[in-house]
């Protein structure tokens, strides 16, 4: 991806996090309980996350229920893509990439609902403008802002290996 494309994608994320006009909303149907984890790596001008999620035994995923990697700015969070569970009660692995200017998104979380956070990471920039990722608690003030309905902009995040 060229530097121009990174800047364009960064600008798109910036527009999203300051209040772009809303697209048609899609209801986020979610399980009531889940477990999961997410890790991140940087490279190639982006942040690449991998992880897994599994509905709790007492809350299997029904048809159409989804999870997301949710990105948080200063005022609100936004799920960039609602992802389907692979099975009602098994583990689902996922992978996603985000290309942005680091100051536009303060954190990201693996979420099973608009308020159900499982694993969260803060995003900051170093002196060279490269993203610096650190684990944060799911109750950190960076991620306790309201979550806007999906879709915000589903082209930013790609789930190339959702199983």
Task: Give me the count of residues in the chain.
Answer: 163
83-105-46 Cα angle (round to 5): 75
In-domain check, residue 98: yes
Averaged over 119-130, what is the pLDDT? 84
The answer to whether residue 9 sits within a structural domain is yes
- The total of structural domains in the chain comes to 1
pLDDT at 39 over 80: yes
Q: DSSP assignment of 13-34, as one string?
A: HHHHHHTPPPPPPB-----S-E
| Rg of the chain (C-alpha set) | 15
Query: How high is the mean pLDDT of the chain?
Result: 77
- Please indicate, yes or no, if residue 88 is contained in any of the structural domains: yes
**Residue 143: count of CB within 10 angstroms of its CB:** 23
Residue 120 lies in a domain: yes
| Global confidence as pTM | 0.74
Domain range enclosing 69: 3-143
More confident call, 53 vs 130:
53
Q: Is residue 152 part of a domain?
A: no
Residue 20 lies in a domain: yes
């Amino acid at each position: 991806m060229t530097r121009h494309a990174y800047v364009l994608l960064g600008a798109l994320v910036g527009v999203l996090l300051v209040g772009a006009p809303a697209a048609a909303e899609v209801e986020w149907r979610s399980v009531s309980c889940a477990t999961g984890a997410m890790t991140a790596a940087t490279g190639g001008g982006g942040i690449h996350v991998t992880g897994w999620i599994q509905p709790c035994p007492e809350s299997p995923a029904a048809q159409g229920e989804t999870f997301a990697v949710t990105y948080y700015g200063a005022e609100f969070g936004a799920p960039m893509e609602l992802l389907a569970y692979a099975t009602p009660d098994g583990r689902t692995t996922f992978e996603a990439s985000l290309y942005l200017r680091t100051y536009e998104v303060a954190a990201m979380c693996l979420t099973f609902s608009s308020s159900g956070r499982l694993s969260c990471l803060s995003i900051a920039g170093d002196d060279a403008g490269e993203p610096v990722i650190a684990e944060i608690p799911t109750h950190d003030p960076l991620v306790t802002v309201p979550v806007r309905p999906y879709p915000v902009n589903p082209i930013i995040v790609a789930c190339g290996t959702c199983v």
